[in-house]
């Protein structure tokens, strides 16, 4: 088990990220609305307004919104 996989999405707070945090993600794919996404400590993070990217590419993002089961970020 890696540190990234150690956060349990079903556990109660605290979340592994907070608004304003900057993290580096490996892009894993696209969501149903076309946003690219990656994970950080098991939390799915959707990357808003990222137009061109390849699966596996490393992207630095700033967290803009945190919800119970996911977060949204903007590319830095």
Range of the domain at 65: 22-75
**Residue 45 within a domain:** yes
- Token output for 4: 């990234």
Please state the domain count of the chain: 1
pTM (predicted TM-score): 0.79
pLDDT tens sequence across 31-72 = 888 899 999 999 999 999 888 899 999 999 999 999 989 999
Task: Say which DSSP state 8 is in.
Answer: -
- Residue 11: pLDDT over 70: no
Reported as a pLDDT band with limits 50, 70 and 90, residue 2 is very low
Residue 71's CATH number: 2.40.50.140
8 occurs within a structural domain:
no
Position 63 in a domain: yes
Look at residue 20 in the predicted model and tell me its pLDDT.
97
Domain membership flag for residue 2: no
Using DSSP, state whether 7 is helix, strand or coil.
Answer: coil
Query: Mean per-residue pLDDT for 17-43?
Result: 94
Angle (CA) 37-43-44 rounded to 5° is: 20
């Amino acid at each position: 088990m890696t540190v990234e996989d150690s956060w349990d999405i079903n556990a109660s707070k605290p979340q592994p990220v907070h608004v304003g945090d900057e993290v580096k993600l490996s892009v894993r794919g696209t969501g149903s609305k076309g946003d690219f996404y990656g994970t950080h400590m098991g939390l799915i993070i959707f990357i808003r307004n990222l137009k061109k990217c390849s699966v596996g590419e490393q992207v630095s993002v700033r967290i803009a919104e945190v919800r119970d089961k996911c977060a949204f970020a903007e590319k830095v």
